[in-house]
Structure 1
Amino acid sequence: MKSSFLRPLLEVAVMLLVVLGAARWLTGLFAKRTHTYQVSAARQLRLLFWPLLALGAGLSVLPAVALSGPEASQFEWALTIGFLLFTLALSGPALLLHLRYLTLNHDTTLVFQPTENRLEVYDAGQRVAFARRDLAGVESVTCSARRTFWGKYNYLCLHLVDGRSIVLTSLLTDLKPLAVFLRNAPTERRTRAWCWV
């Protein structure tokens, strides 16, 4: 009964992933290179793929034990809860970081074109006015735990002379080229095990 229900769902999910991947690849061949970065579904999926897969694996054993009814032993429940807690420990920090970065940069648009010396940040459609001379410093924070699910989450904090700060997270784009572009500004590079802003 369970396999007759789950198998078609898995087949549809795999087929949908293949079709969406092929469509993205085809549109990437004919699209011109963009210099405008926003929080996109593709970027979110790229960052969340492994954490969600781990969480799904942990949650998948719970219904099997719960539906077995009173026949499930305490040992089976202990193993199930242990596996669920293990997968939550693996994926939970990445999911929390993702939600935090999403709240910070959901309405942010980054226009970055280094060949034309162009860097603009828009917040909710309004341009955040600053020039390179207005940068008091750049804080570049990267994750030291590279082999974890949250290893790709990092951020740049642009500190302006007037006291404002602009936070750009890895949900927008890969921040390494931007950090290289801002190399002439006073930069503080830090590594953390978990890049919470």
Structure 2
Amino acid sequence: MKASFLRSLLEAAAGLLLVLGAARWLTGLFSRRTRVFQITAARHLQLLFWPLLALGAGLSVLPAVALNSPTTSQFEWSLTLGFVLFTLALSGPALLLHLRYWLLNYETTLVFQPDHNRLEVYEAGQRQAFERRDLAGVERVTCRARRTFWAKYDYLRLRFVDGRTIVLTSLLTDLEPLAGFLRNVPTQRRSRPWCWV
């Protein structure tokens, strides 16, 4: 009874996933590619998939050991806590960066069309007016630790002659095309083990 219910639930989920994928593919054929970037659920999932999977694996051990608590030895508890701490060390920095980047850019919209020479930034619905000549410099910070869960987190800081700064994070989009677009502006490239802003 239980196995048949789970099987039908999995079949329904697979069917729904197939229908949604086909609908997305079909609408992608007939729609124009947008150049407006905001924080979306797909971008969250793209960046958080492995950190959350590691955290879930680490935390899934705790209930099993806690339910067997009367017969669990100190050695088993120390192994469990060591595993949980290990997964927190793997996924924690990525989760902190994700939260920080979300706080910086949750109200930011980036309009980027390099073929039309168009770059616009909106914060809280208000357009931040600037021209390319208003940029005093660009700071491009990437992650040096390539084999970590936080390797995809990087940012671009636009510095203006009037003293303003705008920070665009990888939570909005991949920033490499944008850095290439701004190649004529004085750019300072840095590589850090952890790209905290």
TM-score, structure 2 length as denominator? 0.90
Deviations 1:83-131 (A, max 9, x none): 0000000000000000000000000000000000000000000001111
Rounded to whole Å, the distance in 1 between the matches of 2:117 and 2:44 is 27
2:121 corresponds in structure 1 to 121
Deviates more, 1:66-75 or 1:46-55: 66-75
1:171 corresponds in structure 2 to 171
Number of aligned residue pairs:
192
Deviations 1:54-91 (A, max 9, x none): 00000100000011121111111111100000000000
Deviations 1:124-157 (A, max 9, x none): 0000111100000000000011111000000000
Rounded to whole Å, the distance in 1 between the matches of 2:135 and 2:10 is 51
In structure 1, stretches of 5+ residues that fail to align are: none
Question: How far off is 1:13 after superposition?
Answer: 11
TM-score, structure 1 length as denominator? 0.90
Deviates more, 1:29-38 or 1:143-152: 29-38
Query: Does structure 1 residue 190 correspond to structure 2 residue 190?
Result: yes
In structure 2, stretches of 5+ residues that fail to align are: none
2:156 corresponds in structure 1 to 156
| Residues 164 and 36 of structure 1, relative CA distance in 2, 3 Å threshold | same
2:139 corresponds in structure 1 to 139
Question: How far off is 1:16 after superposition?
Answer: 8.7
Rounded to whole Å, the distance in 2 between the matches of 1:25 and 1:50 is 25
Query: Does structure 1 residue 63 correspond to structure 2 residue 63?
Result: yes
Query: Does structure 1 residue 36 correspond to structure 2 residue 32?
Result: no
Partner of 2:75, secondary structure, is: helix
Letter in 2 for 1:80: T
Letter in 2 for 1:96: L
Matches within 5 A, 1:44-83: 44-83=44-83
**CA RMSD, Structure 1 to Structure 2 (Å):** 2.2
Rounded to whole Å, the distance in 2 between the matches of 1:21 and 1:143 is 32
Rounded to whole Å, the distance in 2 between the matches of 1:150 and 1:156 is 16
Q: Which runs of 4+ in 1 moved over 6 A?
A: none
Rounded to whole Å, the distance in 2 between the matches of 1:63 and 1:172 is 36
Letter in 2 for 1:142: T
Partner of 1:90, secondary structure, is: helix
2:107 corresponds in structure 1 to 107
